[in-house]
Amino acid sequence: MSDIKKAVLAYSGGLDTSVILKWLQDTYQCEVVTYTADLGQGEELEPARQKALQFGIPAEQIFIEDVREEFVRDYVFPMFRANTIYEGEYLLGTSIARPLIAKRLVEIAQATGAEAIAHGATGKGNDQVRFELGAYALNPNIKIIAPWREWDLLSREKLMAYAEKHGIPVDMKHKQGGSPYSMDANLLHISYEGRHLEDPAAEAEESMWRWTVSPEKAPDAAEYLDIEFEHGDAVALNGNRMSAADVLTHLNILGGKHGIGRLDLVENRYVGMKSRGCYETPGGTILLKAHRAIESITLDREVAHLKDDLMPRYASMIYNGYWWAPERIALQKLIDHTQQTVNGWVRVKLYKGNVIVVGRDSKTDSLFDSSIATFEDDQGAYDQKDAGGFIKLNALRMRIAANLKNRK
């Protein structure tokens, strides 16, 4: 008999987590509390409540929350202040959602008196690490149940057989084969893995993409967009102030319309294997380009370069699940400090898969001094003779080395 009397399950209402719910009841003979987060995945979540009720879960132990605003404001935007990309390309759409879910699982466990949390991440992936590192960081004594590391239901056929045996409702899409991909969606992105994509030499099928048109089918006319920033965060589009979640929602629509934000990537998972995934991140792709543009005129050169030096490490922290670790929190304070002067607007042109920066300005924090940078007469603002001594001093070590080489 397990000492776990109650567990909080990260529950989507789909086949996997529905099987997990029943499996927890049978294997651990414990009460199950379900948690479903609306992260902007674009699916109706009320059916998850009805399915949980069918399993005998009391209504007061079914938690369905709209966390879209919190997700973008407190997780996505702080990450974008660092211009974060993993392995040069990936905008971390799945990774950044996990710390929020982990936090809520732990909080609900405390509120309901549960000893454990449970998740549906497999033993091969990164998400198990992200959920569990986050949970342990927030509650070092929490117990964790990871069914994919315990059970023998290691194929879709076995899951289907278990569901039929125990009367678990199975959607027609599963009975008919469903999507050939494993997908994860939130306001920042949608990801695709598995099946056809497991051959890294095979081109992704055009029918797979859901958020973006192909660049070939995007409008023939470019569209201009003004994005306003305050302290590094986008706060308005074309002069209209919006909440964080609304900004990203509108950017997704515009980016999808113009075929922006597709990525086909073979990445290095934290657990050691290489994995091929495809991603659609239309709004995030626009946001990254625009944020770097506003920083280009508002950040000191060495501060900007320091941020670029630190970014790959910061990206790895998020990808590997260390959002709640002290090193990420400390680095975030530095990043946020740099954003105090990142205020102004950026104009981008959206055209057939491209985000082209065509203008940027800051009335309060621009470091661009046209009187110095001009190619015309600068009226003595910059003494060009100074450059000679500057160059000689910077060349001194190389001149010494060259003289030594010549004497040998």
Torsion of CA 128, 133, 134, 140, to 10 degrees: 130
pLDDT digits (tens, 9 = 90+) for 332-370: 999 999 999 999 999 999 999 999 999 999 999 999 998
Flag whether pLDDT at 149 surpasses 80: yes
Flag whether pLDDT at 140 surpasses 50: yes
- Quick one: pLDDT at residue 195? 85
Superfamily (CATH H level) for 185-299+342-361: Argininosuccinate synthetase, chain A, domain 2 (3.90.1260.10)
Instruction: Indicate if the alpha-carbon torsion angle 89, 91, 93, 98 is positive or negative.
Output: positive
What is the mean predicted confidence (pLDDT) over 91-120? Answer: 98
Flag whether pLDDT at 17 surpasses 50: yes
Which of the four pLDDT bands, split at 50, 70 and 90, describes residue 177?
A: low
Are the C-beta atoms of 93 and 191 separated by less than 8 Å? yes
- Quick one: pLDDT at residue 179? 60
Percent of the chain exceeding pLDDT 90 equals 84
- Quick one: pLDDT at residue 116? 98
pLDDT digits (tens, 9 = 90+) for 46-77: 889 999 998 999 999 999 999 999 999 999 99
Place of tokens 């004594």: 141
- Quick one: pLDDT at residue 44? 82
- CA separation for the pair 206, 278 (Å, rounded): 12
What is the mean predicted confidence (pLDDT) over 376-381? Answer: 88
Percent of the chain exceeding pLDDT 70 equals 97
Per-residue exposure over 47-86, b if at least 16 CB sit within 10 Å of its own CB, e if not: ebbebbeebebeeebbbbeebbebbbbebbbbbbbbbbbb
Of residues 320, 215, 208, the one with CA closest to residue 258: 215
CATH of domain 6-68+94-178: 3.40.50.620
CA distances, 66 to each of 110, 132, 187, 268, 323 (Å): 20, 22, 12, 32, 21
- CA separation for the pair 223, 163 (Å, rounded): 49
Of residues 205, 352, 353, 178, the one with CA closest to residue 278: 205
Angle between helices 326-338 and 301-320 (to 10 degrees): 150
Supply the residues annotated as catalytic.
16, 98, 127, 182
Beta pairing class for 240-241 and 233-237: antiparallel
- Quick one: pLDDT at residue 157? 84
357 sits in which H/E element: strand 354-361
Which of the four pLDDT bands, split at 50, 70 and 90, describes residue 172?
A: very low
Are the C-beta atoms of 185 and 41 separated by less than 8 Å? yes
Place of tokens 């414990």: 30
Sheet containing 223-230, strands listed edge to edge, beginning at the edge strand earlier in sequence: 240-241, 233-237, 223-230, 344-351, 354-361
Are the C-beta atoms of 204 and 192 separated by less than 8 Å? yes
Stated pTM of the model: 0.95
Which of the four pLDDT bands, split at 50, 70 and 90, describes residue 181?
A: confident
How far apart are the two ends of the chain, measured CA to CA in Å?
A: 81
User: Which spans in 139-217 are helix H?
Assistant: 156-165, 172-175
pLDDT digits (tens, 9 = 90+) for 183-226: 999 999 999 998 889 999 999 999 999 999 999 999 999 999 99
Flag whether pLDDT at 374 surpasses 80: yes
Flag whether pLDDT at 321 surpasses 60: yes
Non-local CB neighbours of 383 within 8 Å, separated by 6+ positions:
none
pLDDT digits (tens, 9 = 90+) for 227-241: 999 999 999 999 999
Ordered by start, the domain boundaries in the chain are 6-68+94-178, 185-299+342-361, 371-407
Instruction: Indicate if the alpha-carbon torsion angle 122, 126, 129, 130 is positive or negative.
Output: negative
User: Which spans in 139-265 are helix H?
Assistant: 156-165, 172-175, 244-257
Tokens of residue 45, six digits: 């979540």
